[in-house]
Structure 1
Amino acid sequence: MLYEDKSSNTRYLLNLVDTPGHVDFSYEVSRSLSACEGVLLLVDASQGIQSQTLATYHAAKEKGLQVVPVLTKIDMPHAQPEECMLSLSALLDVDPESVLLTSAKSGIGITDVLQTVVDRLPPPEANRSAPLKCLLVDSYYDDYRGIVCLVKVVDGRISPGDKIVSAATKTSYDVQETGVLLPHRSPTPGLHGGQVGYVIAGMKTTTEAKIGDTFFHPSKPVEPLPGFQEVRSMVFASMYPTDDCNFDDLRTAMGKLTLNDASVSTQVENSGALGMGFRCGFLGLLHMEVFHQRLADEQNMQVLVTAPMVPYKIIDAKGNESIVETPADFPESTKYYQVEEPMVEASILTPSDYVGAILVLTNDKRGVQTNMVYLEDGRVALTFLLPWQEVVTDFYNELKTITSGYASLNYREVEPQKADIVKVDVLINGKVLDALSFVCHRSKATAAGRALCLKLKNVIDRQQYEISIQATLGAKVFAKERIAPFRKDVLIKSGKAVGGGDITRKQKLLKKQKEGKKRMKTVGNVQLSQSAFWSVMSK
């Protein structure tokens, strides 16, 4: 956006990046911090400091960025700006006088924020006469122009007609258009050092735009910029196309979405039950849900998503280590192995009234409390060591429910720990349904397996033959449900009894029916519909 300083009659081009607040999108925050000169730390005056606020503040300080604290929604009925400023002072050592008070709804303080950006945040350092060094910050797909790259020019100048080279792929491109964002695309004769804008260079495929890449002129090669922190997927789930779309359409749609969400990893896989699909890696459960929803909203792709799973480290009898991301790759229970499960240090800020309920929840999730601090504003800061698998299985929603939405959660990865993790298979008429297999702690395997069998019993259609649903742990069947077949009374024909009083005739008919049912069960194929599968996988 363009902002004019009235005192000096100077116009400034300000590029503002709005980062998500949820902990699942910490990679987006880290990436944005790497491309910025300063930070506006927004705090909701009606909710106070959240766990994510503290994490973002410390991340900005680690990168040496100037932080300007801003209180928002100060005109809300339940806003407490004075208490929030005291909390900022106590937790972040912020001068209360430096905190800006704003309300986007009524426009209070917005001009002050923009003026503070000009006065307190440093301009970008750049050498315009140096060779071109351009950082690819983001990208997206335009139906008419193809791939649009959002870049930060660190040094030099880039103009339409220039030839540039990607440091990551070594591919050269001809620059077709450059411009700035106001926030719409506005073409310019070029971009120089210190500016942020867009570049259209005729990239043909979505895989060519690698976030964090460096562009330079082929005649003046430069050392690539450090780029961004390498992302590590924390949750894995498979996505399969439904009857309404095919695999190639899904591949194209996912390629477009991963253009501006580089934190999603994708790999083609084939399921015997669901066909061709993708094994996807995400930063967290909300990240997975948002990506799934974007496929439906932006690309009109309806897909099935399997249960999320975290990566486990498997150590076999010879000491060889491997990372397992799918239940299918989990070793058989007959083999000797050790499992290390990923752990996180979870920080929870909550009103003191809900501490007891949170302790009960974390204990059920196999958590260990490591710290508890009572704050001056009546809230408590709790720290727990939790298995990551327990966090991704609806922990956040349960936490919000028991605290009436007042608690906030933040977490960071810590060293993995050994755990008794097992694989549970689901069999229908003796055949393993791989899409429903899952891994969990041994203490929860029985309850989870029984619940899944009961769900399947309620959604699978009744057949002419008996359907057996089993949950197994290795060779041991620990849960079973039975769907009774439709039954025709073969002893009645045209409303009359068959065989009269001859018992042998009746026994012969019943035996023939029994053998027929047995043959049907052998050759019958139980079909699990897409809607039934989704109802089983959903909470």
Structure 2
Amino acid sequence: DYFADEIGVLSPSQLQVEELYAGEVGYLSASIRTVVDARVGDTVTHYGRKADNSLLGYEEATPMVFCGLFPVDADYLRDALEKLQLNDVALKFEPETSSAKGFGFICGFLGLLHMEIVQERLEREYNLSLITTAPSVVYRVNCVNGDTVECSNPSLLLEPGKRKSIEEPFVKIEMLTPKDYIGSLMELAQERRRQFKEMKFIAENRASITYELPLAEMVGDFFDQLKSRSKGYASMEYTFVGYTESNLIKLDIRINVTVWSHWLQLCTMIR
């Protein structure tokens, strides 16, 4: 709840008015200091005459790619993330603790480009040295009791007896490439649980190749491989398609502590 200190219209500069009516385009100033209290698409309603429902057509931005950020000073990283969130409400983060990397944050991004931009800004603008984990995606777990749970970390996956199926996000990816590298890029997509859609020539020497594939297959080294196989000439863009049921399992890796300790001693001796 906020008090509207000023309301007005743009004509083209700000012009204060006494009232705003339905259908008019205006602005309001209410000294809102927290950006999460005024998201794009929110419905503003009168405190004494509250609307029953929000206006249709807007949804809160949902992160699609997650990765962990672990700095030397976790408190300073929290301040930096909160400042970034002032002009980027799509950025989501929550504390995370790792026995190997210490205290940090698990951050959610709209996509790979969004993730790279945030990481670059944190390092350049706030002079942070970050340890970044491999990006992961959000899976949907359909439970036996009818509930649906979102899972961004394998450790949060429910027991096999409690889950009915697992869905993963799919994207439609379009690769633009010179015709000399068509075969190499199609081979790259064939290795990623792909679904071929179409291929067309947009110019005499340039083709567009479209696939649908799991987002998890693309958040790794797909872009680097694409650039490497095309010698830097190919480009790509992707759009989110939706969630599709897949045959997925959780793989647990166990390390023999005795072998691990001997390996550490050997590394120390070599060093």
Distance 1:206 1:414, change over 3 A: closer
Distance 1:416 1:430 in 2: 42
Q: Secondary structure at the match of 1:328?
A: helix
State yes or no: 1:266 paired with 2:96.
Answer: no
Displacement, 1:277?
Answer: 2.9
Displacement, 1:395?
Answer: 1.4
Displacement, 1:360?
Answer: 0.9
Report Cα offsets for 1:87-142 as digits up to 9, x if no partner: xxxxxxxxxxxxxxxxxxxxxxxxxxxxxxxxxxxxxxxxxxxxxxxxxxxxxxxx
**Letter of the structure 2 residue corresponding to residue 234 of structure 1:** M
Q: Secondary structure at the match of 1:423?
A: coil
Report Cα offsets for 1:492-535 as digits up to 9, x if no partner: xxxxxxxxxxxxxxxxxxxxxxxxxxxxxxxxxxxxxxxxxxxx
Displacement, 1:325?
Answer: 0.6
Report Cα offsets for 1:51-85 as digits up to 9, x if no partner: xxxxxxxxxxxxxxxxxxxxxxxxxxxxxxxxxxx
Report Cα offsets for 1:451-481 as digits up to 9, x if no partner: xxxxxx9xxxxxxx6236xxxxxxxxxxxxx
Equivalent position to 1:412, from 211, 232, 240: 240
Q: Secondary structure at the match of 2:137?
A: coil
State yes or no: 1:422 paired with 2:218.
Answer: no
State yes or no: 1:486 paired with 2:263.
Answer: no
**Letter of the structure 1 residue corresponding to residue 131 of structure 2:** L
Distance 2:129 2:247 in 1: 36
1:201 — aligned with what? Answer: 30
Whether contact under 8 Å (1:367, 1:385) holds in the other structure is: yes
Displacement, 1:210?
Answer: 2.5
State yes or no: 1:235 paired with 2:65.
Answer: yes
**Letter of the structure 1 residue corresponding to residue 92 of structure 2:** S
Distance 1:320 1:218 in 2: 34
Distance 1:255 1:294 in 2: 13
Q: Secondary structure at the match of 2:114?
A: helix
Distance 2:266 2:57 in 1: 57
Distance 2:177 2:238 in 1: 12
* Identity rate, percent: 29
2:191 — aligned with what? Answer: 364
Displacement, 1:200?
Answer: 5.1
Distance 1:331 1:483, change over 3 A: farther
Aligned-CA RMSD value = 3.8
Distance 1:486 1:335 in 2: 48
Which structure has the higher relative contact order (CA within 8 Å, separation 6+)? Answer: 2
Q: Secondary structure at the match of 1:416?
A: strand
Displacement, 1:293?
Answer: 1.8
Query: Gapped runs of 5+ residues in structure 2?
Result: none
Query: Gapped runs of 5+ residues in structure 1?
Result: 1-170, 432-456, 458-464, 469-481, 488-539
1:19 — aligned with what? Answer: none
Distance 2:74 2:7 in 1: 35
**Letter of the structure 1 residue corresponding to residue 219 of structure 2:** V
**Letter of the structure 1 residue corresponding to residue 135 of structure 2:** P
1:119 — aligned with what? Answer: none
Distance 1:216 1:340 in 2: 37
Displacement, 1:254?
Answer: 1.7
How is 1:416-495 mapped onto 2 (pairs within 5 angstroms)? 416-425=244-253, 427=255, 429=257, 466-467=262-263, 483-484=266-267, 486=269
**Letter of the structure 2 residue corresponding to residue 466 of structure 1:** H
2:16 — aligned with what? Answer: 190
Displacement, 1:346?
Answer: 1.8
Whether contact under 8 Å (2:36, 2:89) holds in the other structure is: no
**Letter of the structure 1 residue corresponding to residue 234 of structure 2:** Y
Displacement, 1:263?
Answer: 1.7
**Letter of the structure 1 residue corresponding to residue 60 of structure 2:** E
1:298 — aligned with what? Answer: 125
Report Cα offsets for 1:385-414 as digits up to 9, x if no partner: 212111111212322332223333233323
Q: How many residues align?
A: 262
How is 1:374-389 mapped onto 2 (pairs within 5 angstroms)? 374-389=201-216
Q: Secondary structure at the match of 2:183?
A: helix
Whether contact under 8 Å (1:213, 1:227) holds in the other structure is: no
Q: Secondary structure at the match of 1:294?
A: helix
**How high is the TM-score relative to the length of structure 1?**
0.42
State yes or no: 1:340 paired with 2:167.
Answer: yes
2:78 — aligned with what? Answer: 251
Whether contact under 8 Å (1:268, 1:276) holds in the other structure is: yes
2:222 — aligned with what? Answer: 395
Whether contact under 8 Å (1:349, 1:379) holds in the other structure is: yes
**Letter of the structure 1 residue corresponding to residue 16 of structure 2:** G
**Letter of the structure 2 residue corresponding to residue 387 of structure 1:** P
How is 1:31-42 mapped onto 2 (pairs within 5 angstroms)? none
